[in-house]
Amino acid sequence: MRFAAPYYFLCLIPLVGLALTFFALNRYQYKTLQRLGTPELVQKLSASVNWRGRKWQSRLWYISLFFVIVALARPQWGSQVEYIERRGVEIMVVLDVSESMMAEDFKPNRLARAKLEISELMDNLAGNQLGLVLFSGAAFIQFPLTSDFATARIFLDAAKPDIISRPGTAIAEAIQVAMNGFNQERATQKVILLLTDGENHEGDVLEAAQTAADQGVIIYAIGFGSPDGEPIPQYDDLGNPLGYKKDRDGNTVMTRLDELTLQQMANVTNGLYFRARPDGREVDFLVNEIGKLQTAEMESRFETRGIERFQWFLAVAVAALVIFELIPDRARSAFTRRPTELTP
């Protein structure tokens, strides 16, 4: 026999402590009762109490709790071979980490909000694989397609503007890098999720989107920022604010959301564009759309698993509780017997 969740046996420690506590209380109660009078008087006053039944009730209660704990530990014996198949969609997330994503029209800033939405997507994308591409003036794969979202979150948290030394915003290059990250041997639907403010400084983004469309890739885009513009804050090495970014003429640089470009990219690939909102509703819409897409087998294997036997232990626990309820609390006295029982 083996146990799939042996840590539940730790619950036996407080159970033993509880049993010892009740034992001590019962001893104290018994001694207190003995001080009320002579043994004959105490026996007469407590003649209606089913003492033996109460002892068995206590035992059955502890037996029931013990077998519940054993059932929670998931006892297993024997084994069976199962065929495991996982189906899903391949999603390459393309995240803009340029300086413009530090604008604070989203609190605390655009980049932090975009990372939060990616994390929320992971919570709702079980069964799919997700990879991450970071870009500003250049692009690279931060982590490849994976279903290990716990580890992926560690790499996501490390995404910052200084992770890429080359300034600018090269969306077209980022799309191409994301395309290279797909597994071309799988027939599963491939999706690029672009999170950016849409400002592009290099390359033809519509041409890159058309290349993706030709290969059956769908682009969903989420735009962060305001079309009216927002200044870009500057910080020193310690994170202290230094003011706002300025151009060569000393004017404050304003970063604006380019919705038109993002809408066109999504339309070319039969995807959708969402503007990021303070309540994050676009995440729910996006999860719903991804759920409608074609899925294909992403992984299959034979796996040997233990046969769960917790049901037997749970049945014993339930049986003990049923017997517990059937035991009367009071003993039958001579006054409650039928007349025929009183005759010698």
Question: What residues have CB less than 8 Å from 334, skipping those under 6 apart?
Answer: 342
| Backbone torsions φ then ψ of 274, nearest 5 degrees | -130, 135
Distances (CA, A) of 295 to 83, 84, 214: 18, 16, 19
**By C-alpha distance, which of 95, 96, 104, 136 is closest to 234?**
104
CA distance 162 to 155: 14
Per DSSP bridges, beta strands 233-235 and 241-244 are antiparallel
In the three-class reduction of DSSP (H, G, I as helix; E, B as strand; rest coil), residue 38 is classed as coil
**All domains in the chain, ordered by first residue:** 2-79+306-342 (no CATH), 90-294 (3.40.50.410)
Cβ contact 33:46 at 8 Å: yes
Question: What residues have CB less than 8 Å from 269, skipping those under 6 apart?
Answer: 192, 209, 212, 213, 217, 218, 219
State both tokens at 9.
């046996």
| Number of CB atoms found within 10 A of residue 109's CB | 17
Predicted confidence at residue 238, as pLDDT, reads 75
Residue 168 region by backbone torsions, left for phi larger than 0, else alpha for psi between -120 and 50, else beta:
left
State both tokens at 268.
């070319």
Consecutive sets of 10 residues in the chain, 344 residues long: mean pLDDT of each? 86 86 77 65 63 80 90 85 69 94 90 94 87 94 92 93 87 95 86 89 87 95 90 82 84 89 94 91 90 64 74 91 83 48 38
> Could you identify the residue written with the tokens 């400002």?
199
State both tokens at 130.
């997700």
Give yes or no for a cis peptide into 108 (omega within 30° of 0): yes
Predicted confidence at residue 294, as pLDDT, reads 62
CA distance 338 to 178: 89
- 226 by Cβ neighbours in 10 Å (0-12 / 13-18 / 19+) ranks as middle
Q: What is the dihedral of CA 219, 225, 228, 232, to 10 degrees?
A: -130
Predicted confidence at residue 343, as pLDDT, reads 39
Q: How far apart are the first and last CA of the chain?
A: 58
In the three-class reduction of DSSP (H, G, I as helix; E, B as strand; rest coil), residue 106 is classed as coil
Predicted confidence at residue 324, as pLDDT, reads 84
**By C-alpha distance, which of 205, 221, 251, 226 is closest to 100?**
226
The DSSP letter of residue 20 is H
CA distance 27 to 33: 10
CA distance 238 to 249: 27
Mind listing the pLDDT tens digit for each residue in 235-272? 877 778 888 888 888 888 898 898 999 999 999 999 99
In the three-class reduction of DSSP (H, G, I as helix; E, B as strand; rest coil), residue 53 is classed as helix
